[in-house]
């Protein structure tokens, strides 16, 4: 990244030049997550500004640990949204194209995902520029539910442009379900569904016995021993889960217009239904 000019020398104290692409993919970098207090404070002061990835990287502080470039496999797992920002910069540098163009060419168009968009990039800077109709996000403040647009703004341009390739895909449940299966099959075909690739993650619900992260894919083992492969996402006003269940050849996509609800309980109920019915 430094040799090609993606990053200036000033970043070297925060982002080790020896870090490999696969380390970014499975979060063995030690790089600080830009989503810290200073980031949130500055976002709130200027919610309609357009951020570029380098402004986002300016909120990266000291690494969680010193990256071990002599024996990279010994580096610890530490989930960081910054890793995905760096991957986005690498993709743009290699292809010479904007990230949305690359996503359209290699993912959305081939899979006919006509109702899936990336927010925070031209021409979809904010939520109102996304073709609708779209759900309205909500947040619970004390005992009252209010639209997330009342906490930030309706478009939230700064939120989406700053988080860039760490998320921001807006889709429908059918298209997410299709993507979950295709992505699992891609990982399986390329040998990435391998125990050596995956790192233990925090378990967020008593309904699940295992949670691991691989190359951009998440693994869950339910209390029923059902295995799921996919990913989750959350941002103010919204959260989502998409998983593929190979044993049943079933995809699950859950879209919720609130980011604090007990989404794992919803997934658990769906899995119980699937296991009883199919």
The helix (run of H) or strand (run of E) holding residue 213 is strand 208-213
Cis upstream peptide for 123 (omega within 30°): yes
Please identify, among 125, 148, 170, the residue that sits at the C-terminal boundary of a domain.
Answer: 170
The predicted model gives 253-266 an average pLDDT of 89
Whether 187 has a pLDDT exceeding 90, the answer reads yes
> What does the pLDDT look like over 8-47, one tens digit per residue?
888 889 999 999 999 999 999 999 999 999 999 999 888 8
Q: Are residues 87 and 223 in contact, defined by beta-carbon separation less than 8 angstroms?
A: no
Regarding whether 20 and 5 lie in a shared domain, the answer is yes
Regarding whether 128 and 187 lie in a shared domain, the answer is no
The predicted model gives 109-136 an average pLDDT of 93
Regarding whether 28 and 86 lie in a shared domain, the answer is yes
Cα 203 → chain centroid: 17
Q: Which two tokens stand for residue 30?
A: 């030690």
Please identify, among 170, 201, 235, the residue that sits at the C-terminal boundary of a domain.
Answer: 170
Pairing of strands 208-213, 218-222: antiparallel
Whether 152 has a pLDDT exceeding 80, the answer reads no
Split at pLDDT 50, 70, 90, the class of 262 is confident
Regarding whether 270 and 196 lie in a shared domain, the answer is yes
Q: Are residues 250 and 278 in contact, defined by beta-carbon separation less than 8 angstroms?
A: yes
Regarding whether 177 and 162 lie in a shared domain, the answer is no
The helix (run of H) or strand (run of E) holding residue 139 is strand 138-141
Cα 42 → chain centroid: 22
Range of the domain at 72: 1-170
Residue 1, C-beta contacts closer than 8 angstroms, at least 6 positions apart: 7, 15, 17, 86, 89, 90
Regarding whether 197 and 95 lie in a shared domain, the answer is no
Regarding whether 115 and 4 lie in a shared domain, the answer is yes
pTM over 0.85: yes
Please identify, among 145, 170, 195, the residue that sits at the C-terminal boundary of a domain.
Answer: 170
The CATH number for 45's domain is 3.40.710.10
Phi first, then psi, for residue 113 (nearest 5°) are: -90, 75
Whether 145 has a pLDDT exceeding 80, the answer reads no
Q: Please report how many Cα atoms fall inside a 13 Å half-sphere around the Cα of residue 207, on the Cβ side.
A: 15
Quickly tell me which residue has 């860039």 as its tokens: 164
Neighbours of 270 (CB within 10 A): 16
Q: Are residues 93 and 102 in contact, defined by beta-carbon separation less than 8 angstroms?
A: no
How many domains does the chain divide into? 2
CA distances from 218 to 58, 152, 210 (A): 28, 30, 10
């Amino acid at each position: 990244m430094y040799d090609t000019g993606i990053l200036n020398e000033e970043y070297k104290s925060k982002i080790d030049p020896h870090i490999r692409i696969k380390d970014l993919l499975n979060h063995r970098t030690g790089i600080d997550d830009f989503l810290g207090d200073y980031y949130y404070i500055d976002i709130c002061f200027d919610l309609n500004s357009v951020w570029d990835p380098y402004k986002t990287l300016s909120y990266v502080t000291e690494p969680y640990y010193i990256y071990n470039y002599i024996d990279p496999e010994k580096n610890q797992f530490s989930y960081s949204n910054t890793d995905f920002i760096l991957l986005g910069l690498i993709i743009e540098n290699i292809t010479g194209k904007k990230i949305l163009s690359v996503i359209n060419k290699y993912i959305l168009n081939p899979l006919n995902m006509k109702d899936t968009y990336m927010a925070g990039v031209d021409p979809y800077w904010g939520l109102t520029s996304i073709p609708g109709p779209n759900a309205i996000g909500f947040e619970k403040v004390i005992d009252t539910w209010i639209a997330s647009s009342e906490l930030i703004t309706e478009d939230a341009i700064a939120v989406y442009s700053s988080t860039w390739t760490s998320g921001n895909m807006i889709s429908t449940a059918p298209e997410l379900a299709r993507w979950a299966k295709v992505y699992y099959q891609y990982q399986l075909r390329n040998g990435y569904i391998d125990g050596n690739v995956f790192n233990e993650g925090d378990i967020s619900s008593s309904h699940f016995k295992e949670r691991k992260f691989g190359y951009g894919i998440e693994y869950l083992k339910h209390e029923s021993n059902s295995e799921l492969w996919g990913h989750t996402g959350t941002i103010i006003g919204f959260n989502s889960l998409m998983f593929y269940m190979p044993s049943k050849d079933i995809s699950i996509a859950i879209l919720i217009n609130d980011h604090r609800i007990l989404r794992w309980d919803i997934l658990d109920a769906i899995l119980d239904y699937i296991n009883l019915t199919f």
